[in-house]
Amino acid sequence: MLVAPRPAFIALGLTLAAAALLAILPVFLAPYSVRVGQLFLLAVGLGVAWTILGGFSGYWSFGNAAFVGTGAFAAALTQVAMGQSPAWLAFLVSLAVAALVNALLALAIAWPILRLRGIYFAIAMLGVSQVCFELVSNIDWLHGAIGLNLLDIVPGSVPPERFYYWALLVGAVAITVIAIGIRYSRIGYGLIAIREDEDTARMLGVPTTRYKIVTFVISATLTAMIGVIYAQNLGYITANSVYRNDFNLNVIVYSLLGGMGTIAGPILGAAVMTYVTQVVLGELLDIHMFVTGLLLAVLVLAAPNGIIGIYDATRLNLRRRRLDAGG
């Protein structure tokens, strides 16, 4: 049940307006720019899905690649099993299977792993990601080492880069809308209480364990679904291509740059990082990682509360100046 509908409606309106603008961009952009847009939308989907638990409740996960990879392989294996079915039907079924598998995986590990806090939870999730990678890589029937082909679902009249841009846009918007609903619900306010002081929140009657498990499962499921679209775009996946350590790190970087604990934060952070890495540093391959890391360190040190923190501080200073001038 929504307890603060007005902010939720404003956020929802801004999200849909931005989605409408982004939807028409591929018509005017070159194929390379559309592919850069794909990376941005993938980053938004992964970042916002992560912040549902990590940002709202303060439970930072270093292992969300586990859900990307498990979702991708669950979908790929389902499509192989339905090889004689229409491609679109196989894709929709595989998407549902990937969501279910990851929901069950998250539910299975939620109780023990969410009893950990801080760095212990973060490292435990990194371990989960590594275990999933090793299992998929070494169990023969999962084909993680040799890889799997996914079905081609792109209509013949649509350029592939545009099709997957729009598919990722739909996924990113859906994840953002769900995140808005959670943020402005009782669960959202309960998660914020957990982030501020979990023990006090429990003493005041907040069902902390239930809220954490629910949002953990939701975050994992949404991560898996955007991961399936990413894998579908690749067309061929191995364990190395979907259990990527940069997924684990980047989702946190997006929120740190944009503003931790907010929905707009990972979106802004994804925009900055995508532009810097793909446009500004796109041709500096030899020093790409060095410059990116240096820039990231400078940005985090200069703005520890992210871009939104700079905006809030600037607005507060302007308000104080007005008050001083009026006084």
Distance of CA 272 to the CA centre of its chain: 15
Block residue for tokens 């929504």: 2
pTM to 2 decimal places: 0.91
Task: Determine how many CB atoms are found less than 10 A away from the CB of residue 213.
Answer: 16
Domain CATH for 85? 1.10.3470
Q: Is the pLDDT of residue 289 over 70?
A: no
Q: What is the mean pLDDT of residues 13-38?
A: 93
User: How many Cα atoms sit within 13 Å of 295 on the Cβ side?
Assistant: 17
The boundaries of the domain holding residue 159 are: 5-248
Residues 6 or more apart whose Cβ sits within 8 Å of residue 287: none
Residue 314 maps to a domain? no
pLDDT of residue 318: 80
Residue 70 maps to a domain? yes
Hey, what long-range contacts does 292-298 have (CB within 8 A, 24 or more apart)? 296/253, 296/257
Torsion of CA 18, 19, 22, 26, to 10 degrees: -170
Q: Are strands 236-237 and 148-149 parallel, antiparallel or unpaired?
A: antiparallel
pLDDT of residue 299: 73
Contact of 268 with 308, CB cutoff 8 Å: yes
pLDDT (tens digit per residue) in 85-144: 899 999 999 999 999 999 999 999 999 999 999 899 999 999 999 999 999 999 989 988
Residue 80 maps to a domain? yes
What domain count does the chain have? 1
Distance CA 164, CA 1 (A): 34
Beta strands in the chain (DSSP E): 148-149, 236-237
The three-state DSSP-derived secondary structure of 118-181 is HHHHHHHHHHHHHHHHHHHHHCHHHCCCCCEECCCCCCCCCCHHHHHHHHHHHHHHHHHHHHHH
pLDDT of residue 1: 44
The total number of residues shown for the chain amounts to 327
How confident is the prediction for the chain on average, in pLDDT?
A: 89
pLDDT of residue 212: 96
Distance CA 118, CA 62 (A): 11
Residue 306 maps to a domain? no
Lowest mean pLDDT among 39-43, 150-154, 225-229: 150-154
Residues 161-193 as b or e (16 or more Cβ within 10 Å = b): bbbbbbbbbbbbbbbbbbbbebbbbebbbbbbb
Residue 238 maps to a domain? yes
Residue 34 maps to a domain? yes
pLDDT (tens digit per residue) in 293-306: 777 777 777 777 78
Residues 6 or more apart whose Cβ sits within 8 Å of residue 90: 78, 79, 82, 83, 151
Task: Determine how many CB atoms are found less than 10 A away from the CB of residue 323.
Answer: 9
* Residue scoring higher pLDDT (277 or 221): 221
* Residue scoring higher pLDDT (312 or 132): 132
How would residue 2 be classed by pLDDT, with cut points 50, 70 and 90?
A: very low
Q: Is the pLDDT of residue 233 over 80?
A: yes
Residue 292 maps to a domain? no
pLDDT (tens digit per residue) in 145-188: 999 999 999 988 889 999 999 999 999 999 999 999 999 999 99
Residue 305 maps to a domain? no
